[in-house]
Amino acid sequence: MISVLGLCAQRGSFSLTDISFDVQDGKFLVIMGPNGCGKTTLLECIAGLHKISSGRIMVDGVDVTDLPAEKRRIGYVPADCALFPRMTVRQNILLAFRKSRGMRLEDLRKILHTLQIEDLMDRSVEQLSSGQKQRVAITRALAANPSALLMDEPCSALDPPTKETFKGWINGVLKEVFHEFDIPVIYTTHDILEASAVGDKIAIMNNGRVEQIGSVNEVFEEPRSKFIAEFLGYNVLNGRILSTNGKHISIKVGDVALTAEGYNNALGFSEEVVVIIRPCDIFLSPIRDVRSKWKGCHCNVLEGTLESLRIEGSIVKADVTVGNFSLRAEVSQDFLEDLRIGSRVFIHIKASRVKVLPKHMKAQQ
């Protein structure tokens, strides 16, 4: 297990502030956040490449905070892979293996086979594709027999087809390797689909702080701040409480009223709030009637105008105007034949999928 306890660090005018989390053996913690939020600096602090100003870093119960990088037994795969040029794949990997403690040759051979490196061993690293370089960099890191592994945006330099293949490979082959070697992995990205594909837990950073950490479902289903919801690409609207009865809450958004479900009276009349709606929780239809499977549940039905449609794989992303605000929706391509840009459309949103936060609430870890 790797533990980060109250870590603070400075890099020029930028600060990492009071960051704490644990990652269990064999588990993936994915750290997300926009460019410049501190993801790479955090990994460099954990790896021993950047000095921290306060806090502790523990690996398998041992305090490694003051140890140099080479004695921490923490593998680090930077975004650029950092393979040694003018060397073969074999030379890169053996360099790490010879310095390892406890890594058996049969274990290394198994890693080479599982990560499909065997046929690349005599190639120069300069002859490798970007995806092959990533696999070699990960193999080299594992060859050192680390107690934890850090991976900094491993998909950032890959072209889209290679990126999709690599994500599937990480979620299948690589996670199996990490579970077998029973080491914790910290993995950074700003890609939501990538995070949901590989993560056991997710932490979202903003300006040097961790704003929220939890399971994939917890973070994606219950964002705790406006920033997190906006980063995840959700609809974020300003509203004001019209009424609440302990089970339902009515909110004025623009010139329409929305109903949310499952809230108590902690939110008072006329209080300013933030309304969060996931695009995938919006159903669009040319007719007002709600789908039969939604019968019996409380549903918001709004009328709007379809402004745009964008096909992305099997999903269609739609922009809809409703009075004086807009909503983003994600629908199946099956509905394309029923939707026309510029036409009237009905927006159906279950009340249970409308999330409401106090406008000035700050997220906590």
Name the residue range of residue 214's domain: 2-221
In contact, 306 and 284? CB cutoff 8 Å: yes
Mean pLDDT confidence for 148-153: 94
pLDDT tens-place string over residues 78-98 = 988 899 998 999 999 999 999
d(CA 150, CA 164): 20
Is residue 134 domain-shared with residue 254, that is, in the same domain?
Answer: no
| % the chain with pLDDT above 90 | 61
pLDDT bracket for residue 231 (50, 70, 90): very high
pLDDT tens-place string over residues 290-336 = 655 566 678 899 999 999 999 887 788 999 999 889 999 998 877 77
Is residue 169 domain-shared with residue 28, that is, in the same domain?
Answer: yes
Is residue 217 domain-shared with residue 230, that is, in the same domain?
Answer: no
Of 100-114, 166-180, 252-266, the least confident: 166-180
Of 102-111, 161-170, 273-282, the least confident: 161-170
Give pLDDT, residue 216.
Answer: 92
Of 88-97, 116-125, 158-167, 217-226, the least confident: 158-167
Among 172, 191, 221, identify where a domain stops: 221
* Planar angle of CA 5, 8, 11, nearest 5 degrees: 145
Q: In this structure, is residue 363 part of a structural domain?
A: no
Residue with tokens 């274990």: 107
d(CA 19, CA 17): 6
Is residue 174 domain-shared with residue 232, that is, in the same domain?
Answer: no
Q: In this structure, is residue 314 part of a structural domain?
A: yes
Does residue 251 surpass a pLDDT of 90? Answer: yes
At residue 149, what are phi and psi to the nearest 5 degrees? -130, 135
What total number of domains does the chain contain?
2
- For 308, the enclosing helix (H) or strand (E) is strand 299-312
Does residue 338 surpass a pLDDT of 80? Answer: no
At residue 356, what are phi and psi to the nearest 5 degrees? -130, 130
In contact, 317 and 279? CB cutoff 8 Å: yes
Among 171, 203, 221, identify where a domain stops: 221
In contact, 17 and 37? CB cutoff 8 Å: no
Mean pLDDT confidence for 259-269: 71
Among 177, 199, 221, identify where a domain stops: 221
Reduced to 3 states (helix: H, G, I; strand: E, B; else coil), residue 268 is: coil
- For 4, the enclosing helix (H) or strand (E) is strand 2-11
Q: What is the mean pLDDT of the chain?
A: 88
Q: What is the CATH number of the domain that holds 334?
A: 2.40.50.100
Does residue 262 surpass a pLDDT of 80? Answer: no
Secondary-structure percent of the chain, ordered helix, strand, coil, rounded to 5: 30, 35, 35
pTM: predicted TM-score of the whole model, two decimal places = 0.87
Contacting residues for 310 by C-beta, under 8 A, at least 6 apart: 316, 317, 318
Is residue 143 domain-shared with residue 251, that is, in the same domain?
Answer: no
Give pLDDT, residue 312.
Answer: 82
